């Protein structure tokens, strides 16, 4: 049997190999990421504080775009076979200044041990066809009809995925078949694109066209993790690869790394075949896929996230004035999540440990180890999408939107969509209670 986590690791590797063959600049991105990580680890003995180099090297997140609730539900089944559950709800319609008519979630492991084994994530977006700001009733009907006729995931793949979820793995022959089918489902299709239909959707949104203008889906980007994203940005430019205008997320500053910083190289013109209105097939190109890279920091609590939202877009000098400058401040102000452990060199003189968290940290009773942020930022994701669009698209601001939220998505997927704050809080609270008991404090103390 190949257990769930090995299926996930194998899928991530094969997807990376496939995407590298399709988008050679992605291979360059991996090479530069590895070079930068080697330099950082060589200079900074504490570089593994937010995940060891083996984990960072293997870490990827992918992104796919789907058209309908049915397709989202099928994708959820495939990712469940890999031990990946839906976490978070992201409304990119509101986060983007340009026309990005999608809502999203991320499929990923939620158990800390599973994340350490392989933290593969897939940011998965779905077209909001009912939103009248983008699609009138007639176009919605035609779009739904087009999407309803396509089959992204073959029945055999879905059957194997359901069995893998039930049995928490697959025997080797079944695993091999499952992986082959799963990777093939996300390859770029050679089927000609209907030019008139694609162009009609593209006038509304390039993202809408990429989802609803073709009869398949594909990996839109695959993202490695780097320990110094500013250095990577510089080195990619030296390689002659055009990057987007900025790094999304918090600024570079001399305080703790928090949440997520992202950037990408610009979408490349890839050869595609087009079917013209007269039925002829001609060669052309599309710019829809790009190479994203990310640097991950500490997960913030709701209070820390509120502070972050106030400061986003501000320069480093403002962050230095208004955001906690150290991990200790983040911990005692309950601005970020940590995993707590008894200190190996803690007091051994029989003193009673203090009750408060600041006293436990300052007195070297407990060590606070940062919990890595495993999720995404709507504004940053929208910024990446927007930076790679050829135009702004169109949006009718006088028309009504359509309501989508986390509860709605849970109903669509027929499985709960986890709140990321709840996951981090549970991990922190469990570690803190265990650590307090280990140093002799009762469980029910503050």
Closest to 388 in 3D by CA, of 272, 260, 294, 290: 290
Determine what percent of the chain is predicted with pLDDT higher than 70.
97
- CA 36 to centroid of chain Cα atoms: 21
Phi, psi of 353, rounded to the nearest 5 degrees:
-65, 150
| Crossing angle for the helix pair 195-204 and 137-149, to the nearest 10 degrees | 130
16 token code pair: 């990376």
At 378 the pLDDT is 84
pLDDT band at 446 (very low <50, low <70, confident <90, very high): very low
At 200 the pLDDT is 95
- pLDDT, mean of residues 114-119: 91
pLDDT tens digits for range 47-81? 677 888 888 888 889 999 999 999 999 999 999 99
- pLDDT, mean of residues 99-118: 93
pLDDT tens digits for range 157-166? 999 999 999 9
pLDDT tens digits for range 407-444? 999 999 999 999 999 999 999 999 999 999 988 887 65
The CA distance from 179 to 13, in Å, is 10
Mean confidence (pLDDT) of the chain:
91
pLDDT tens digits for range 17-32? 999 898 888 888 999 9
320 token code pair: 């230095």
Determine what percent of the chain is predicted with pLDDT higher than 90.
70
pLDDT tens digits for range 367-393? 999 999 999 988 888 777 766 666 677
């Amino acid at each position: 049997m190949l257990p769930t986590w090995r299926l996930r690791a194998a899928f991530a590797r094969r997807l990376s190999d496939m995407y590298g063959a399709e988008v050679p600049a992605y291979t360059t991105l991996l090479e530069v990421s590895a070079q930068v990580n080697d330099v950082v680890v060589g200079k900074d003995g504490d570089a593994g504080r937010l995940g060891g180099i083996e984990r960072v090297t293997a870490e990827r997140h992918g992104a796919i775009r789907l058209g309908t609730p049915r397709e989202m539900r099928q994708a959820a089944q495939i990712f469940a076979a890999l031990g990946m559950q839906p976490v978070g709800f992201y409304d990119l319609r509101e986060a983007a200044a340009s026309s990005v008519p999608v809502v999203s979630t991320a499929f990923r492991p939620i158990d800390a041990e599973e994340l350490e084994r392989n933290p593969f994530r897939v940011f998965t977006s779905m077209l909001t066809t009912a939103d009248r700001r983008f699609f009138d009733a007639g176009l919605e009907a035609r779009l739904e009809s087009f999407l309803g006729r396509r089959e992204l995931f073959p029945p055999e793949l879905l059957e194997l995925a359901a069995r893998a979820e039930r049995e928490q793995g697959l025997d080797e022959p079944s695993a091999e078949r499952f992986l082959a089918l799963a990777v093939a489902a996300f390859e770029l299709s050679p089927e000609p694109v209907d030019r008139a239909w694609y162009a009609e959707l593209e006038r509304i949104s390039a993202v809408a066209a990429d989802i609803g203008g073709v009869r398949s889906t594909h990996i839109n980007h695959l993202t490695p993790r780097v320990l110094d994203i500013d250095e990577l940005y510089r080195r990619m430019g030296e390689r002659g690869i055009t990057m987007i205008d900025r790094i999304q997320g918090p600024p570079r500053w001399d305080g703790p790394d928090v949440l997520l910083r992202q950037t990408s190289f610009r979408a490349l013109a890839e050869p595609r075949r087009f079917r013209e209105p007269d039925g002829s097939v001609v060669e052309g190109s599309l710019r829809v896929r790009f190479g994203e890279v990310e640097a991950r920091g500490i997960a913030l609590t709701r209070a820390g996230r509120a502070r972050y939202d106030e400061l986003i877009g501000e320069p480093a000098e403002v962050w230095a004035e208004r955001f906690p400058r150290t991990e200790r401040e983040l911990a005692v102000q309950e601005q970020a999540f940590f995993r707590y452990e008894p200190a190996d060199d803690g007091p051994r003189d029989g003193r009673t440990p203090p009750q408060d968290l600041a006293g436990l940290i300052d007195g070297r009773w407990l060590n606070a180890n940062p919990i890595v942020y495993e999720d995404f930022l709507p504004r940053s994701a929208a910024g990446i999408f927007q930076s790679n669009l050829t135009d702004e698209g169109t949006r009718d601001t006088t028309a009504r939107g359509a309501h989508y939220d986390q509860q709605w998505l849970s109903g669509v997927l027929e499985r709960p969509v986890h709140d990321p704050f709840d996951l981090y809080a549970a991990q922190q609270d469990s570690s803190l209670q265990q650590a307090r008991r280990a140093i002799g404090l009762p469980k029910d103390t503050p």
